[in-house]
């Protein structure tokens, strides 16, 4: 299988879906002529033209709202937030319109829209540019949240998200855009709500999403090599819908859990997972469910400290050893 970057895998997903369905269009700041701030949409404007790939002014609230309106009448907008951090200026459109309009219409309407872009820290851009709002959005029934950790997942999940008839928020990661993974040449999709066991293990379960899953894989290696502990890594892939069954299967096997996320700890995704596990697998647990999150401060700029602020393999290993 060819090795593809996360970026290219996404790019291919867009191209394939644009070709497949004439209702699909991409919209966002600098996505067209500039090829995207992070080059995720490179070449697509040239190939598909201004009708399908559209540069927008810096008016996130209006163009997310435009997307909702277009989706109501059957279009399939794929809207880029140059950074998910910028979604707060468009938050109302996402929470009240994309998220609630189906309910408030008694099911008469639906909003088949994708909002996508990177949501991560670790790139020296400071607090305003390093938000990870997956927990905020997942709080609202009506929205779906996807956080792919690999190029393979990114492509398969993105294609599914675009075909989904509800609003899907896809959180990418600038630190992964340049990383390569095997991606099949033939078409494939990955369903939302199916976690991926990225590494099998018997002693301990890491539950993670997005780039944290990759960090867990590194931690699992260290644990195996240095401590003889075999950790399982469950990559959630989607936060809502959530594959609770996969989490509980892993817990039943290992009896020990560390939930890892780049999210901030307070009411983060890890809180939900930990609370769910202790409720549904109380008797399976040999130790409390522990959590590793971003250190609890706004994202710091300073380079070495910023690296420490996100979960590192070392911090994860240390946490794992507390219960192993």
Ligand X SMILES: Cc1ncc(C[n+]2csc(CCOP(=O)(O)OP(=O)(O)O)c2C)c(N)n1
Residue 286 C-alpha from the chain's centroid:
30
Q: What is d(CA 72, CA 66) in angstroms, rounded to the nearest whole number?
A: 10
Peptide bond into 241 cis (omega under 30): yes
Residue 212 C-alpha from the chain's centroid:
10
Taking CB atoms, the residue at the shortest distance from ligand X is 86
Name which of 60 and 196 has its Cβ closer to ligand X.
Answer: 60
Give the range of 71-79, 121-129, 204-212, 304-312 binding a copy of itself by CB under 8 A: 121-129
- 313 near another protein (CB under 8 A): no
Options 16, 179, 241, 284; binder of another protein; rule CB under 8 A: 241
Q: What is d(CA 205, CA 103) in angstroms, rounded to the nearest whole number?
A: 36
Active-site residue identified among 60, 80, 172, 261: 60
- 29 near ligand X (CB under 6 A): yes
CA distance readout (Å), 38 to 30, 41, 82: 10, 8, 8
Q: CB–CB of 109/72 below 8 Å?
A: yes
Residue 310 tokens, joined: 């996100």
Q: CB–CB of 174/130 below 8 Å?
A: no
3 state DSSP class of 163: helix
Least distance in Å: CB of 83 to ligand X?
7
Least distance in Å: CB of 256 to another protein?
18
Q: What is d(CA 130, CA 298) in angstroms, rounded to the nearest whole number?
A: 8
Name which of 156 and 210 has its Cβ closer to a copy of itself.
Answer: 210
3 state DSSP class of 153: helix
**Partner whose footprint covers residue 269, from another protein, a copy of itself, ligand X, none (CB < 5 to 8 Å by kind):** a copy of itself
Q: CB–CB of 215/263 below 8 Å?
A: no
Enclosing H/E stretch for 24: strand 24-28
**Number of residues in contact with another protein under rule CB under 8 A:** 96
Least distance in Å: CB of 37 to a copy of itself?
18
| Residue found under tokens 């099949």 | 184
Is 179 annotated as catalytic? Answer: no
Least distance in Å: CB of 299 to another protein?
9
Name which of 202 and 322 has its Cβ closer to another protein.
Answer: 322
Options 82, 217, 251, 258; binder of ligand X; rule CB under 6 A: 82
**Number of residues in contact with a copy of itself under rule CB under 8 A:** 50
Stretch 248-287: interaction string toward a copy of itself, x if CB under 8 A: ----------------xxxxxxxxx-xx--xxx-x----x
SS3 readout for 181-212 = EECCCCCCCCCCCCCEEEECCCCEEEEECCHH
Is 129 annotated as catalytic? Answer: yes
Name which of 60 and 306 has its Cβ closer to ligand X.
Answer: 60
Q: CB–CB of 80/46 below 8 Å?
A: no
- 296 near a copy of itself (CB under 8 A): yes
Angle formed at CA 79 by CA 76 and CA 81, multiple of 5 degrees: 165
Name which of 59 and 202 has its Cβ closer to ligand X.
Answer: 59
| Residues in region 37-66 near a copy of itself by CB under 8 A | 61
Positions that interact with a copy of itself (CB under 8 A): 61, 85-86, 88-89, 91-92, 95-96, 99-100, 103-104, 126-128, 131, 135-136, 138-142, 240, 264-272, 274-275, 278-280, 282, 287-291, 296-298, 300-301
Catalytic residues: 60, 129
Positions that interact with ligand X (CB under 6 A): 29, 58, 60, 82, 86, 89
């Amino acid at each position: 299988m060819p090795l593809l970057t996360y970026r290219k895998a996404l790019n291919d997903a867009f191209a394939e879906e644009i070709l497949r369905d004439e209702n699909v269009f991409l919209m966002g700041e600098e996505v067209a002529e500039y090829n995207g701030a992070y080059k995720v949409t490179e070449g697509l404007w040239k190939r598909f033209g201004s009708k399908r790939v559209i540069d927008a002014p810096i008016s996130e609230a209006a163009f997310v709202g435009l997307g909702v309106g277009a989706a109501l009448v059957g279009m399939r907008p794929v809207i880029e937030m140059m950074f998910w951090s910028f979604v707060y200026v468009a938050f109302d459109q996402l929470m009240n319109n994309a998220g609630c309009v189906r309910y408030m219409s008694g099911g008469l309407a639906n909003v088949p829209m994708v909002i996508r872009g990177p949501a991560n820290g670790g790139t020296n851009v400071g607090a305003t540019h390093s938000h990870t709002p997956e927990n905020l959005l997942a709080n609202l029934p009506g929205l779906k949240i996807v956080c792919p950790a690999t190029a393979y997942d990114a492509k398969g999940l993105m294609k599914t998200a675009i075909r989904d008839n509800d609003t899907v928020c896809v959180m990418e990661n600038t630190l992964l855009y340049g990383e390569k993974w095997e991606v099949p040449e033939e078409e494939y999709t990955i369903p939302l709500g199916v976690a991926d066991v990225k590494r099998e293990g018997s002693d301990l379960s890491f539950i993670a999403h997005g780039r944290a899953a990759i960090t867990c894989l590194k931690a699992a290696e260290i644990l195996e090599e240095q401590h003889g502990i075999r950790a399982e890594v469950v990559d959630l892939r989607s936060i809502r819908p959530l594959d609770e069954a996969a989490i509980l299967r892993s817990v039943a096997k290992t009896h020990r859990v560390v939930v890892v996320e780049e999210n901030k700890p307070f009411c983060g995704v890890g809180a939900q997972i930990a609370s769910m596990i202790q409720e549904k697998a109380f008797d399976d647990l040999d130790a409390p469910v522990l959590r590793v999150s971003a250190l609890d401060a706004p994202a710091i700029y300073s380079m070495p400290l910023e690296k420490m602020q996100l979960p590192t393999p070392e911090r994860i290993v240390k946490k794992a050893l507390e219960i192993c």
